């Protein structure tokens, strides 16, 4: 069931049920993070392997100390600069957080989401919400309530409808160890924004070393093959006979067999991010044989866009 009743959502969560929640990044599949049996329902519903930990959503920065053994000055600076918002920070967990939430890892991933309905919901609850993206594992994340309904409608008790997500790609994940900030997943808050706030360079984790399974190579997969190209003009000339869906980031002429999806008319990276996942869903549903997408500028949120496209692509 889809609706906007925040108290209904709160009551269901209180009863240990699953509720899909809107955030500014993507929709989340939420349960009481302090109740291991409620959390286990998330893993089942998503068909998510139990080694892949969940992000814990809290109402505000004051809540952090309830769930961690240490809130370092650097982590606090990041929280104060970017919360509510699309930054998830790993911190050493305390015993209040069930091991199932962190998949047995020593850190818990925390963030304050920036969506009025979900902030209202969190303020009604006396527990935080564990919530991965509200999709079946390894499929494209949902950025509106209808997509959640399509994939998880049968298993979730309620879908809190907060409209279309503003950002459209998942949160950025960082770990803060001693005085080193490491970027584990590109997302809504860019590396440049974090570096500007801290005045230091942020390192990116070496590709092979997977500590967050969001970094698994195959992820965000469309049902159809998706090919990532460097030059769309050139690709469109090459693919004229096959029926193909084309993700366009600026206005380019297409031919009869090419089904165009204009994510932005002028290469606006925020706009592209905002439309990315829903367009991937739409392209999956049309009558093309495969999907073409162009690599975008590797700067700002463009890094997150390229990351998601690369993980969805055939290599
Ligand atoms: O924007 C977002 O982050 C959305 C919304 C709902 O908040 N959530 C989201 O969750 O994208 P999910 O589960 O799809 O991706 C979370 C990523 C996973 O790759 C997971 O492995 C990593 O965060 N992660 C969570 N807890 C972790 C931990 N304790 N240590 C290392 N990685 C962790
Ligand atoms: Mg996900």
* pLDDT tens-digit map of 123-171: 999 999 999 999 999 999 999 999 999 999 999 999 999 999 999 999 9
Helix or strand or coil: residue 181? Answer: strand
Element (H, E) at 69: none
Domain residue ranges of the chain, discontinuous segments joined by +: 2-204, 226-312
Q: Which ligand is nearest to the CA of 216?
A: 1
Probe target for ligand 1 pocket from 173, 210, 221, with the most ligand atoms within 8 Å of CB: 173
- Would you state the structure tokens that stand for residue 265, as one six-digit string? 């008319």
List the one residue out of 122, 112, 118, 149 whose CA is nearest residue 134.
149
pLDDT at 215 over 60: no
One fold for 2-204 and 226-312: no
What DSSP letter does each residue of 71-101 carry, written as one string?
Answer: --HHHHHHHHHH-SSSEEEEEEB-TTS-HHH
User: For residue 26, what is the DSSP state?
Assistant: S
114 within 8 A of 24, measured Cβ to Cβ: yes
Locate tokens 């965000």: which residue?
Answer: 220
Assign a CATH topology to domain 2-204: DHBP synthase (3.90.870)
User: Which ligand has its closest atom nearest to the C-alpha of 68?
Assistant: 1
Q: How far is CA 141 from CA 132, 170, 195, 213, in A?
A: 10, 8, 27, 15
Q: Which CATH number fits domain 226-312: 3.40.50.2300, 3.40.50.11030, 3.20.20.210, 3.20.20.60?
A: 3.40.50.11030
Residues in contact with ligand 1 by the CB-under-6-Å rule are 23, 25-26, 28, 52-55, 88, 90, 102, 105, 107-109, 113, 131-133, 170-171, 173, 211-214
Q: Work out the percent of the chain whose per-residue pLDDT is above 70.
A: 95
Q: Which atom belonging to ligand 1 lies closest to the Cα atom of 107?
A: 29
- Which ligand is nearest the CA of 131, by number? 1
Residue range 64-107, pLDDT digits in tens? 999 999 999 999 999 999 999 999 999 999 999 999 999 999 99
| Higher pLDDT pick, 164 / 179 | 164
Q: Is the pLDDT of residue 212 over 80?
A: no
CA 270 to centroid of chain Cα atoms: 15
Four-residue CA torsion sign, 33, 34, 35, 36? positive
Closest-CA residue, ligand 1 atom 3, reads: 171
Q: Which residue has better confidence, 314 or 180?
A: 180
How far is residue 250's CA from residue 32's CA, in Å, rounded to a whole number? 42
Q: What percent of the chain has pLDDT over 90?
A: 92
Any bridge partners for residue 187, and if so which?
none
What would you report as the CA-atom Rg of the chain, rounded to the nearest whole angstrom?
19
What pLDDT shows up at residue 169? Answer: 98
Name the residue with the closest Cα to ligand 1, atom 22: 212
pTM equals 0.96
The confidence band for 208, taking pLDDT boundaries of 50, 70 and 90, is very low
């Amino acid at each position: 069931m889809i609706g906007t009743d925040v108290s209904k959502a709160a009551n269901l969560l209180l009863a240990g049920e699953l509720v899909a929640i809107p955030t500014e990044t993507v929709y989340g599949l939420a349960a009481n993070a302090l109740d291991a049996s409620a959390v286990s329902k998330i893993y089942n519903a998503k068909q998510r392997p139990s080694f892949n930990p969940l992000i814990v959503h809290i109402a505000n920065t004051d809540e952090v100390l309830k769930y961690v053994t240490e809130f370092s000055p650097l982590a606090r600076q990041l929280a104060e600069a970017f919360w509510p918002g699309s930054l998830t920070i790993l911190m050493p967990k305390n015993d209040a957080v069930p091991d199932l939430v962190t998949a047995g890892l020593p850190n818990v991933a925390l963030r304050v989401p920036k969506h009025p309905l979900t902030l209202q919901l969190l303020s009604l609850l006396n527990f935080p919400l564990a919530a991965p993206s509200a999709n079946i594992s390894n499929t494209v994340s949902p950025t509106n309530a209808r997509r959640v309904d399509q994939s998880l409608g049968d298993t979730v008790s309620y879908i809190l409808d907060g409209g279309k997500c503003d950002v459209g790609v998942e949160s950025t994940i960082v770990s803060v160890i001693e005085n080193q900030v490491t970027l584990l997943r590109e997302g809504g808050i860019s590396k440049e924004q974090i570096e500007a706030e801290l005045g230091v360079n942020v390192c990116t984790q070496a590709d092979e070393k997977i500590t967050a399974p969001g970094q698994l190579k195959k992820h965000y997969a469309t049902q159809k093959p998706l090919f990532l190209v460097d030059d769309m003009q050139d690709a469109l000339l090459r693919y004229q006979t096959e029926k193909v869906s084309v993700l366009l980031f600026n206005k380019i002429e297409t031919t009869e067999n090419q089904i165009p999806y204009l994510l932005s008319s002028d290469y606006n990276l925020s706009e592209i991010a905002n439309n990315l996942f829903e367009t991937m869903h739409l392209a999956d549903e049309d009558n093309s044989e495969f999907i073409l997408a162009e690599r975008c500028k590797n700067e700002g949120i463009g890094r997150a866009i390229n990351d998601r496209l690369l993980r969805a692509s055939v290599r």
